[in-house]
Amino acid sequence: QSVLTQPPSASGTPGQRVTISCSGSSSNIGSNYVYWYHQLPGTAPKLLIYRNNQRPSGVPDRFSGSKSGTSASLAISGLRSEDEADYYCAAWDDSLSGPVFGGGTKLTVL
């Protein structure tokens, strides 16, 4: 059971906007930044969003992040087939003194 809660799956058609939620607590999301990673099958996770809503260079502005209280969300607009992947949220947890991750959301582009 992961510390952060994500829906196991999400889907959308090309061009649509999809959001993925991530719920935590006061010891993690409530008091620290949220990060998002995406993972293609058989590959390592790749940083997608840092510090709640910042994109590393090379990440398209179709990807955006937000945070409110103890929850966060990732939005993907203009959905494309290559966006099909697993998405994970993460945050530092003050109680555990380490990183915590969500259970992952498998995004399917229909």
Partner 1 sequence: QITLKESGPTLVKPTQTLTLTCTFSGFSLSTSGVGVVWIRQPPGKALEWLALIYWDDDKRYSPSLKSRLTITKDTSKNQVVLTMTNLDPVDTATYYCAHLTTGATWIDYWGQGTLVTVSS
Q: Does 35 bind partner 1 (CB under 8 A)?
A: yes
Q: How far is CA 7 from the centre of its chain?
A: 11
Of residues 15, 54, 60, 80, which one binds partner 1 by CB under 8 A? 54
Stretch that binds partner 1, among 10-18, 22-30, 60-68, 94-102 (CB under 8 A): 94-102
3-class secondary-structure state, position 23: strand
> In angstroms, what is the minimal distance from the CB of 101 to partner 1?
4
Supply the Cα-derived Rg of the chain in whole angstroms: 13
Distance from C-alpha of 73 to C-alpha of 94, rounded to nearest angstrom: 21
Q: Does 100 bind partner 1 (CB under 8 A)?
A: yes
State how beta strands 63-68 and 71-76 pair.
antiparallel
Of residues 18, 74, 88, 107, which one binds partner 1 by CB under 8 A? 88
Distance from C-alpha of 77 to C-alpha of 102, rounded to nearest angstrom: 21
- Using CB under 8 A as the criterion, which residues of the chain lie in contact with partner 1 when the complex forms? 2, 33, 35, 37, 43-47, 50-51, 54, 56, 88, 90, 92, 96-104
